[in-house]
Structure 1
Amino acid sequence: MKNYAQRVLVRLFFRMSDQTDSIAKASGEALLAVAELLKWRQLKHLLQTQQTWRIGECLLAQDRSRAEEYCHQSLPYLKDAQATLREAAVRFIGLAARPLRDQSREKLSEICSALQTLEKDSDPSIRSLIAQTVLLLGSPREQPRSGRTLRALCCWCC
């Protein structure tokens, strides 16, 4: 049961950003139940105090070895119709993929490629977030020189 509960953490976390209030609320309640089942006090505290922006960090802190798995679970949300879910996925991937910079360039390249599919997203804030995230992760495809970082960000978000 605990293994299954750990596999649904990311999905419940993203659905807390759903635009339908009832789905977001139910996801938060389910995530709280999972936190109780797993006995993750910090996650439970963050949910009870509504510190949702820190939940992604908490998930990764509990088990860094799942970072790659979490990234792969996040990828389908990059294609979601809801901008709030796409944004949550990009932010979480940015956090989860950081440890991969030193471990697997191949996996990091796959993740950056998936992120770059949103470079022409209809939401300018998501385009900007994608550009920042890819730059921070050190995309193998395009690494701007230090003097061109700002220009690269400006060009990508337009």
Structure 2
Amino acid sequence: MQTVVGNDKQQMRKNVRRSLLPLFFHMSDQTESVAKASREALLVAAKLLKWKRLKHLTRTQQTGRIGECLLVQDRSRVEEYLSQSLPYLKDAQVTLREAALKFIGLAARHLGDESEEKLSEICNALQLLEKDAELSVSSLAAQTMLTLRSPREQPTSGWTLWALCCWPCKAGQK
């Protein structure tokens, strides 16, 4: 891999960034060997991109936080991530549909106001899932639709969340 990277590092990083979301979703695959291989590949990708936070979250199997990490690490790719998520809403595996739904709910909060067309596309896809035979999927789709239709707020920065969470602890340690 290092030889390939050395030849065309920029193109390789671009390809690796494109593979992050599918690898993340397949960490939820029902076939354990696929989930494990995806986790290992995501770890290699994080090392290649030098994304320490993603590497830590993957290594410690904090799957629930990896989606947010991807969005924060590369904010310019939110619409692309959402487009990549849509086919997973039709996947035969419930776990992959759920992973895509959770990520879409998270990613939609990072969309700018100019992304109304993308938001409409997502809502159309979610409407179909509200009738999914799997109750967990249909409930999650309905919940995500409610979130998307409510007035959107800009995501709070991690620094602000840290300050709200940890400041009283630090202040009491004077």
TM over 0.5: yes
Q: State yes or no: 1:3 paired with 2:6.
A: no
Conserved 8 A contact 1:18-1:24? yes
Amino acid across the alignment from 1:127: S
Residue 71 of structure 1 corresponds to which residue in structure 2?
A: 82
Q: State yes or no: 1:132 paired with 2:143.
A: yes
Conserved 8 A contact 1:101-1:108? no
Give 1:101 shift: 5.7
Conserved 8 A contact 1:74-1:93? yes
2:46 to 30, 35, 60: 35
Q: Deviations over 1:10-38 (max 9, x none)?
A: 00000000000000000000000000000
Q: State yes or no: 1:100 paired with 2:111.
A: yes
Look up the SS of the partner of 2:28 in the other structure. Answer: coil
* Number of residues of Structure 1 aligned to a counterpart in Structure 2: 140
Residue 144 of structure 1 corresponds to which residue in structure 2?
A: none
2:60 to 49, 58, 66: 49
Give 1:106 shift: 1.5
Conserved 8 A contact 1:101-1:137? no
Residue 73 of structure 2 corresponds to which residue in structure 1?
A: 62
| Structure possessing the higher radius of gyration over alpha carbons | 2
User: C-alpha distance in 2, partners of 1:92/1:66?
Assistant: 13
Distance of aligned partners of 1:117 and 1:101 in 2 relative to their CA distance in 1, 3 Å threshold? farther
Distance of aligned partners of 1:101 and 1:109 in 2 relative to their CA distance in 1, 3 Å threshold? farther
User: C-alpha distance in 1, partners of 2:66/2:82?
Assistant: 15
TM-score by length of 2: 0.78
- Deviation above 3 Å: which 4+ runs of structure 1? none
Over the matched positions of the two proteins, sequence identity in percent amounts to 70
TM-score by length of 1: 0.85
Give the stretch that moved more between structures: 51-60 or 102-111: 102-111
Residue 151 of structure 1 corresponds to which residue in structure 2?
A: none
Structure 2: runs of 5 or more not aligned: 1-11, 151-174
Distance of aligned partners of 1:2 and 1:101 in 2 relative to their CA distance in 1, 3 Å threshold? closer
Give 1:102 shift: 2.2
Residue 83 of structure 1 corresponds to which residue in structure 2?
A: 94
